[in-house]
């Protein structure tokens, strides 16, 4: 009696193994075919996040406003680290709220693969769906913060200008940079279960090294220290946000480095995550 090869039967039926790593072109095509799902799932999650509260989704506006107020009282009023910065409130708001998006994206990425382990073992789909959706959830909650930043800039004396047209460009840079980091964190988080406990300390160091609370040139003239700030892609993105909304200086080198870091981080992070595709369903 003739035997049937299970592999050929699966191929004929259009089935894919649960643990697989297709070539990059096919992988990207599979991702694109699920783009609606990738965008919709985190949106529904965000909509349901505050359903049992009085203010509901207004918390996405209230939270960044309260967060900024606390930091301004501590660092702007009590500690007075605003030296050398005109309109420190706007400076602080942009730094705090943008970095909050980066922080939430990285923290969520550390456990996103483990949290979806049952789904990963149940069916085949490009695993990049998970960290992309995770980052999008953070992005959706960040978008109201852009409105808060804009209102603060206007209230403190800023005026709209042609630079505001570059806001989508700078936002895209930050999203690309963050997504690249999220890919790396997601893979490492699956391989190193303790990463979620270590990550907050690493993020805290990055927070103080990214010019979130103060302008580095106002506190040091050491060229090496200032250079380290300049090559920090997160510092560069924050500076570009401040250039757009506040009209602060942003030399061409900042634009070049920020765009270069964003493209490199996204490409390298995606490749690094893709290389571990088969491992995500293992213990």
- Across the range 131-154, mean pLDDT stands at 90
Q: Which of 237, 273, 272, 274 is nearest to 257 (CA)?
A: 237
Tell me the two tokens of residue 4: 């049937």
Q: How many CB atoms lie within 10 A of CB 229?
A: 18
What are the structural domain ranges in the chain? 20-281
> Are 127 and 33 a contacting pair, CB within 8 Å?
no
Q: How many CB atoms lie within 10 A of CB 260?
A: 13
- Across the range 17-37, mean pLDDT stands at 83
Residues 6+ apart with CB under 8 A from 254: 230, 236, 239, 240, 243
* Cα of 226 vs its chain's centroid, Å: 24
Question: Between 17 and 29, whose confidence is greater?
Answer: 29
30-62 confidence digits (pLDDT tens)? 899 988 888 888 777 766 665 665 555 566 666
199-257 confidence digits (pLDDT tens)? 989 998 898 888 887 777 776 777 787 788 888 899 999 999 999 999 888 889 999 99
Decide: residue 145, CB within 10 A, 0-12 exposed, 13-18 middle, 19+ buried.
buried
Question: Between 68 and 17, whose confidence is greater?
Answer: 68
pLDDT at position 13 over 50: no
118-136 confidence digits (pLDDT tens)? 888 888 889 999 999 999 9
């Amino acid at each position: 009696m003739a035997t049937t090869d299970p592999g050929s039967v699966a191929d004929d039926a259009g089935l894919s193994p649960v643990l697989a790593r297709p070539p990059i072109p096919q992988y990207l095509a599979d991702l694109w075919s699920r783009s609606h799902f990738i965008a919709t799932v985190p949106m529904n999650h965000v909509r349901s996040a505050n359903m049992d509260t009085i203010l509901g989704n207004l918390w996405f506006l209230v939270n960044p406003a309260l967060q900024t107020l606390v930091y301004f009282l501590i660092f702007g009023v009590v500690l007075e680290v605003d030296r050398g910065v005109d309109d420190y409130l706007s400076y602080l708001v942009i730094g705090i709220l943008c970095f909050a998006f980066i922080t939430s994206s990285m923290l969520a990425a550390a456990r996103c693969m483990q949290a979806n382990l049952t789904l990963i073992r149940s069916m085949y789909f490009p695993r990049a769906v998970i960290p992309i959706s995770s980052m999008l959830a953070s992005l959706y909650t960040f978008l109201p913060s852009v409105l808060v930043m804009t209102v603060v800039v206007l209230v403190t004396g800023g005026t709209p200008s042609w630079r505001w047209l570059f806001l989508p460009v700078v936002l895209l840079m930050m999203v690309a940079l963050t997504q690249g980091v999220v890919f790396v964190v997601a893979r490492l988080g699956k391989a190193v279960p303790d990463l979620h406990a270590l990550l907050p300390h690493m993020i805290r160091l990055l927070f103080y090294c990214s010019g979130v609370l103060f302008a580095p040139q106002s506190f040091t003239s050491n060229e090496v220290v200032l250079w380290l700030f300049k090559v920090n892609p997160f510092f560069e993105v924050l500076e570009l946000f401040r250039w757009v909304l506040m009209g602060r200086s942003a030399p061409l080198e900042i634009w070049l480095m920020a765009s270069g870091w964003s493209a490199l981080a996204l490409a390298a992070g995606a490749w690094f995550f893709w290389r571990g595709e088969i491992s995500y369903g293992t213990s």
